[in-house]
Structure 1
Amino acid sequence: MVDISGDLAAIFGDHGEFAKSALYIPSGFDAFPIRLVPFRADRDVRHGASRFMTEGFSFRVRVSELAMPNVGDRLQFEDDIYVIQDGFRRDEQRKWWVMEAVAECV
C-alpha cells in the first residue's frame, strides 16, 4: 500500500491548497468544523430524447474528521447549506469520504 499521508496533509491541512473550511451538521446533533474539498458535480443526463443538467456538489472529507456521513446530514459551505444524498463512499485508499450533496431549498 502506498503511503499518501503527506499528500493528504498538503491537500487538507490548514494551509492546504484545495481544502476549504465548512461546518458538518449531523441530524439531531451539534455542528462541528471540518475541512473539505468541493467539486462541482454538474452532469449531462439523457433520458430518451430528453437532455437536462443535474446540479449538485461532490465533497471529499477526511475519514479522520468524519467517522460516518448519513443521508440527510447537512454541510454549511461558504454561504450555502447542502444536504447529503445517498451514495456516499470511501476512496480506494479509504482515507476520505466522497459525498454527493444538493443545495438545501429554503
Structure 2
Amino acid sequence: MTVFAAAMDRIYANPSMAVAAVWISAATSAERPIRVIRRAPDRITEFGAGRFVSDTMMVDVRLSDLPDPRPGDLIVIGSDSFTIQGEPLRDRERLIWTLDLRPS
C-alpha cells in the first residue's frame, strides 16, 4: 500500500470528511455499503448570450469500495437517492472515482 492510499483510507474513515452511503446496481440490484465524500459545486452553463448557474452533486468514492460504477446506478445517502449520470472518472492514482449525480 502506498502512503497516498493509506492517507485516503484515513480520510474516508473520518466521519467529518466522509459519510456512509449505499450503492445499488441498476443492472443486478446488488447493494453495497460505501463511504463517500460529497461535493456540491455550482456549474455555469452558457446558452447563447446567457449564462446559467445550476447546483450539482458529486461524490468521490474509493475504487476499493466500488470497483465498477456505471451510469444509471443509484447512490443512497441517508434518505436521499441519486442516479449516476455520465461516465465515472478516476483520479490520476487510480484510487478514487468521481461520480456526477442527479436526484432520483
**For residue 6 of structure 2, what is the amino acid of its counterpart?**
G
1:17 paired residue number: 16
Q: Which runs of 4+ in 1 moved over 6 A?
A: none
2:61 paired residue number: 61
Q: TM-score, normalised by structure 1?
A: 0.86
Secondary structure in 2 aligned to 1:67?
A: coil
Q: Which has the higher strand share?
A: 2
**For residue 98 of structure 1, what is the amino acid of its counterpart?**
T
CA RMSD of aligned residues (A): 1.6
Gaps in structure 1 of 5+ consecutive residues: none
Asked whether the equivalents of residues 10 and 16 of structure 1 are also in contact (C-alpha less than 8 Å), the reply is no
Q: Percent identity?
A: 26
Asked whether the equivalents of residues 38 and 59 of structure 1 are also in contact (C-alpha less than 8 Å), the reply is yes
2:25 paired residue number: 26
1:1-106 → structure 2 map (5 Å cutoff): 3-13=3-13, 15-27=14-26, 28-104=28-104
Secondary structure in 2 aligned to 1:88?
A: strand
Asked whether the equivalents of residues 70 and 87 of structure 2 are also in contact (C-alpha less than 8 Å), the reply is no
Q: What are the superposed Cα offsets for residues 6-49 of structure 1, whole Å, 9 maximum, x if unpaired? A: 31122111x35311000101113222210010100321212221
Gaps in structure 2 of 5+ consecutive residues: none
